[in-house]
Structure 1
Amino acid sequence: MRSALLGAAALVLSAGAATAQTTCYGGAQWWTPEGFISGERCVAQGRFAAATPDAARIDLGGAWVIPALGEAHNHNLDNPVMARAMSTTYLSAGILYVKNPNSRLEWTEATRAVVNQPDTVDAVFSLGGVTAPGGHPVRLYGFLSRFYGEVREGEAFEGDAFHLVTAEGDIAPVLDRLKAEGADFVKLYLLGSEHHHERAEDPVYYGMRGVDPALAPAFVREAHARDLRVSVHVETAADFRAAVAAGVDEINHLPGYMWETGATAETYRLTEADARAAAEAGVVVVTTTVVANGFARSPDALQAVQTLQVENLRRLHDAGVSIAIGSDNYQATAALEAQNLLDIGAFTGPELLRLWIDTPRVSIFPDRMIGRLDPGYEANFVVLSADPLAAMTQPLPVTAVHKAGEAIWTAR
């Protein structure tokens, strides 16, 4: 069947180059929110459309088709070299949409020239995140500089990889700068906000603090006035509550992927009231559970973290919170996160597939008509050689990825 799919892809490419003729795909099972159905879908001018009498027809030979998937948190597209390689890696996993919630201005312009092309992934960038002096990710960028041959102190990246806010008067200039630089959204850091004032000057917490939570409502208000959505890095349940109360659009991490020494689950446990508040406010929560695998100090510690992750995710999901799939893992993709969510028992296969399909629409490109295989929606879809619900415990059997109706990646 794979050779048949490759041949079909070639036909689509040649047909698209020569004419705007409608192309109809049959012989497949098509995803819908209610389940897979057999039939055909037609594409014209990059969108799903009604069939026409002169439409070209291609038989997909019993394939399964789903909307293109997303990665709601990753920094793989930090620079143009990584972006070229990772675009292909993402496509091979059926992922067409990527969100980078913190990137260096110096590299992002060149990276944007690589992505968002007809044959690459589509991506959005927050540019530099907004934090406090000595906050996360100040220390991190100093560490990362070693890998790029720069070896600079983290503070040297102010205005490039991050921006500092200590008072309400700092907010508007920072947001005006990010808006002028072309940020697609903005990233705010809240870390241990319940201890903000006692840790603000403590060198022990260098690199592990964020903006004063009292400034968060003003930050969100000013960002929204500039048509910028706000994503927030959180560490604790108190950070989560402060972010929701401030009116943010998205929370970038599930609380508690890394527990402080001496902390208990209560520091990171979300309550039913937290979940209801997030649902009522329309806040999106990005999973990033697999990050814990690299931070846990022992198998028992990892088990405790994962047990709480499942508890928090189920509480959020049951309350109706929009959950997006994101890994926050360099050199990996949301496929790794999806596998981890299944491994720890956070979601069933059908639940996970639905969340992953919805991720681009709820988190990455909320203003685009994506995530459905219906007339009027962008014809961005993934062709699979088997039922994805039967293959969720292994890499999805992707044979082709179509963008605007064109096959931009095919399995070799």
Structure 2
Amino acid sequence: MTKHSNLKTFLAPISLMGAVLAAPAAAQEIPTCQFTLKDANVFTGDGFETRDVSIDGRRFVSEHPVGAPEIEAGWMYIIPPLVDAHTHTLDEVMRPGSSVHRGFLDRGIYYALNPNSILRDDDAALPLAPDQVEMAYTGGGITGPGGHPRPLYEGLVRARIYREITVEELPGRAYHEAATAEDVRAAVRAVAATRATAVKLMLYDHKSPDTKALDGERFRAAVDEAKKLGLRPMVHVEFAADARLAFELGVAAIVHMPGHAGARRDLIDAYRLTAEDAAIAARNNVAVVPTVAIAFNGASGQALKDAQELQAYNLKLLRDAGVVIGAGSDRYSADALDELDLLRATGLFEGPELLRIGTENGIKIAFGEDRKAGRIESGYEASFIALRSDPSTDWYTLRNPLAGFRAGQQIEQSRMFTQACTAN
């Protein structure tokens, strides 16, 4: 996470939470939706097929609900909602009326992961409302004394970007500094006590004796403790050696790819993954959120060209090995759609692959393999966005969803569902 010049979303006081998952709950009476979309063009993960889609309450079902309306949908392209797998823009606790959340929802992004956030002691898990993105938070990341993200957060507080916390209150909330393996284990336990289901760990040149993040010993201790407590390790990496260690230990995800911000020309080989690295990641089910937007945002000219060549090199290795890739920009003024644009521009991914990256893969990264969402299949959460055309051939249609549901609840309103969604 880095500071960006466009800070308009942070001009109001910001409230933050550390719980990874606030499960949808009914704060108000929510209409029960029952309907069938007839002859819709449905995304399967590999492309589109024409078939009926039935919803009965929170789930997709295999049979048309008795007495429910049928809606002609031959013009409609149905995909799961998008997931931003690395954002810090959505730092607010889920409260009604947030224009920041509404902006994401209007673009079809119904889920997101914030992999480092400030924990407030008085924050409570609030029911998920239709005008809020469903968020996964990790609370403060674990690093070494003085390591990232401490300098970043101190700068944001001094710049009055975060107004409800002082610099002195940041330790233990925005980050945890750990000088020893026992410090690390205690920090992981502190994160677990917040009801989080994931923990952020910082690796930055872990082999160097001068690293301010975690070295190999402390990182291994953190991963070991996290797994004992059922936490999913999310890892910030810089160099290929950092990613390799994370892959070998079987973390849940690395939320940057080596070379995400480009590379110093005299160190470029230190950022290059190998085919063996990618194979280990795939074998150990470690996902990768590349955040290629970081270099695009910060570099230009030859520096940007060099960064994009390095990114494409690493991305091809990961793609060819079958590693799960997610989309998130790690930019305050950008989101998963911007990241998907840049991934598409590499020429490495076809339309269906990009849609999987932006939907099903993001659910797995943010909420884990057990979450039955991200696919339009019977038994899965009834979540989808409706588009007017095939995004494989009309890419920008993704930015204009015409209707949308999350777990059977209307998010993007459409009159076509008025009869289908009434209180029963």
Q: So what's the TM-score if we normalise by structure 1?
A: 0.86
* Cα offsets for 1:223-274 (capped at 9, x unmatched): 0111100000001101111212233111010111224545432111000011
Aligned-pair CA distance for 1:280 = 0.8
SS of corresponding position for 1:266: helix
User: After superposition, where does 1:146-161 map in structure 2 within 5 Å?
Assistant: 146-148=159-161, 156-161=169-174
Aligned partner of 1:36 in structure 2 is 48
- 1:383 counterpart = 2:386: yes
Asked if structure 2 preserves the Cα contact closer than 8 Å seen for 1:80 and 1:107, the reply is no
- 1:140 counterpart = 2:143: no
1:102 is aligned, of 90, 95, 116, to 116
SS of corresponding position for 1:55: coil
Equivalent-residue separation in structure 1 for 2:277 and 2:122 (angstroms): 35
Distance 1:123 1:350, change over 3 A: same
- 1:253 counterpart = 2:256: yes
Equivalent-residue separation in structure 2 for 1:343 and 1:411 (angstroms): 32
Aligned-pair CA distance for 1:153 = 8.3
- 1:229 counterpart = 2:232: yes
Aligned-pair CA distance for 1:395 = 4.7
Equivalent-residue separation in structure 2 for 1:365 and 1:379 (angstroms): 16
Aligned-pair CA distance for 1:332 = 2.0
1:317 is aligned, of 307, 316, 319, to 319
Aligned-pair CA distance for 1:171 = 2.3
Distance 1:376 1:73, change over 3 A: same
Q: Which amino acid aligns with 1:322?
A: V
Equivalent-residue separation in structure 1 for 2:60 and 2:194 (angstroms): 34
Asked if structure 2 preserves the Cα contact closer than 8 Å seen for 1:137 and 1:162, the reply is yes
Asked if structure 2 preserves the Cα contact closer than 8 Å seen for 1:189 and 1:234, the reply is yes
Q: Which amino acid aligns with 1:288?
A: T
Aligned partner of 1:174 in structure 2 is 187
Aligned partner of 1:295 in structure 2 is 298
- 1:62 counterpart = 2:75: yes
Distance 1:162 1:108, change over 3 A: farther
1:280 is aligned, of 279, 283, 296, to 283
Asked if structure 2 preserves the Cα contact closer than 8 Å seen for 1:217 and 1:247, the reply is no
Equivalent-residue separation in structure 2 for 1:240 and 1:21 (angstroms): 44
Equivalent-residue separation in structure 2 for 1:409 and 1:150 (angstroms): 32
SS of corresponding position for 1:70: strand
Asked if structure 2 preserves the Cα contact closer than 8 Å seen for 1:388 and 1:396, the reply is no
Aligned partner of 1:403 in structure 2 is 406
Distance 1:151 1:378, change over 3 A: closer
Deviates more, 1:273-282 or 1:147-156: 147-156
Equivalent-residue separation in structure 2 for 1:70 and 1:329 (angstroms): 15
- 1:216 counterpart = 2:219: yes
Asked if structure 1 preserves the Cα contact closer than 8 Å seen for 2:33 and 2:408, the reply is no
Q: Which amino acid aligns with 2:383?
A: N
* Cα offsets for 1:323-381 (capped at 9, x unmatched): 11111111321001011111233422232112222223320122211111111010010
The runs of 5 or more residues in structure 2 that have no matched partner are 1-28, 416-424
Asked if structure 2 preserves the Cα contact closer than 8 Å seen for 1:216 and 1:246, the reply is no
Deviates more, 1:72-81 or 1:97-106: 72-81
Asked if structure 2 preserves the Cα contact closer than 8 Å seen for 1:108 and 1:127, the reply is no
User: After superposition, where does 1:71-86 map in structure 2 within 5 Å?
Assistant: 71-80=84-93, 84-86=98-100
Distance 1:393 1:404, change over 3 A: closer
SS of corresponding position for 2:378: coil
Aligned partner of 1:48 in structure 2 is 60
Asked if structure 2 preserves the Cα contact closer than 8 Å seen for 1:91 and 1:401, the reply is no
Equivalent-residue separation in structure 2 for 1:310 and 1:47 (angstroms): 38
How many aligned positions are there?
Answer: 383
Equivalent-residue separation in structure 2 for 1:152 and 1:377 (angstroms): 40
Asked if structure 2 preserves the Cα contact closer than 8 Å seen for 1:70 and 1:357, the reply is yes
SS of corresponding position for 1:264: helix
Aligned-pair CA distance for 1:134 = 1.1
SS of corresponding position for 1:377: coil
Aligned-pair CA distance for 1:190 = 0.3
Distance 1:347 1:155, change over 3 A: farther
Aligned-pair CA distance for 1:17 = 5.6
Q: Which amino acid aligns with 1:22?
A: Q
SS of corresponding position for 2:332: coil
Equivalent-residue separation in structure 1 for 2:198 and 2:220 (angstroms): 16
Asked if structure 1 preserves the Cα contact closer than 8 Å seen for 2:36 and 2:55, the reply is yes
Aligned partner of 2:12 in structure 1 is none
Distance 1:400 1:320, change over 3 A: same
Distance 1:149 1:52, change over 3 A: closer
Q: Which amino acid aligns with 1:331?
A: S
Asked if structure 2 preserves the Cα contact closer than 8 Å seen for 1:102 and 1:127, the reply is yes
Aligned partner of 2:178 in structure 1 is 165
Aligned-pair CA distance for 1:92 = 1.6
Distance 1:91 1:236, change over 3 A: same
Equivalent-residue separation in structure 1 for 2:30 and 2:260 (angstroms): 47
Distance 1:269 1:261, change over 3 A: closer
Deviates more, 1:26-35 or 1:222-231: 26-35
Distance 1:137 1:305, change over 3 A: same
Equivalent-residue separation in structure 2 for 1:289 and 1:149 (angstroms): 26
Q: So what's the TM-score if we normalise by structure 2?
A: 0.84
1:125 is aligned, of 137, 140, 151, to 137
Deviates more, 1:389-398 or 1:164-173: 389-398
Aligned-pair identity in percent equals 36
Asked if structure 1 preserves the Cα contact closer than 8 Å seen for 2:37 and 2:54, the reply is yes
* Cα offsets for 1:297-338 (capped at 9, x unmatched): x41011011011111111001011111111111132100101
